[in-house]
Amino acid sequence: MSDETKRRRPGRYGQDEIERNRLEPWPNPRPARDYVVHFEIPEFTCLCPRSGFPDFATIVIDYVPGPSVLELKSLKLYINGFRDRALSHEGATNDILDDLVAALEPRWMRVVGEFNVRGNIKTVVTAEHAQEGYAGPRPAYRRPTFTGI
């Protein structure tokens, strides 16, 4: 089947976009200033590596940009790429941090995975990165505030 035929198949558009996506850094509009960018991603899913059942979480990302900021559509597609991946809560949170640090070279970044209760246990995983010598803002963690529409 040709690539053109695949692109026209119903239900493939999103999957194709996710497969082709790469995290896209954009030039930081204020590279001399330390400022904090805050993202809340309330519909994160991945698969439990043991059971194969879906795990749900809100991912919270705070960062102080270095040379780049993140294009939001690329972040959305990147996050959606986790939905069929089997990995632990710890693995998912740390993979997100590692990939974002590699793409953006932030001065400071924190990624928190607030996973939904499963088996009567709520899991919160926090992973952080800072450039050597970084002394700028590191805001206190704020629990997700998104409450839906």
Number of domains in the chain: 1
CA angle 82, 63, 80 (to 5 degrees): 15
pLDDT tens digit sequence for 23-58: 999 999 999 999 999 999 999 999 999 999 999 999
**How far apart are the C-alpha atoms of 48 and 41, rounded to whole Å?**
19
Angle subtended by helix axes 72-80 and 13-20, to nearest 10: 110
Domain membership of residue 148 (yes or no) is: no
Tabulate helix, strand, coil % of the chain (nearest 5): 25, 35, 40
Enumerate the active-site residues: 48, 55
Is this prediction's pTM over 0.95?
Answer: no
Bridge-based pairing state of the strands 37-47 and 68-70: unpaired
**How far apart are the C-alpha atoms of 88 and 129, rounded to whole Å?**
20
Domain membership of residue 98 (yes or no) is: yes
CATH code assigned at 30? 3.30.1130.10
Domain membership of residue 143 (yes or no) is: no
**Structure tokens that stand for 23 in this block:** 């995290």
**Structure tokens that stand for 12 in this block:** 């493939």
pLDDT tens digit sequence for 86-117: 999 999 999 999 999 999 999 999 999 999 99
Domain membership of residue 144 (yes or no) is: no
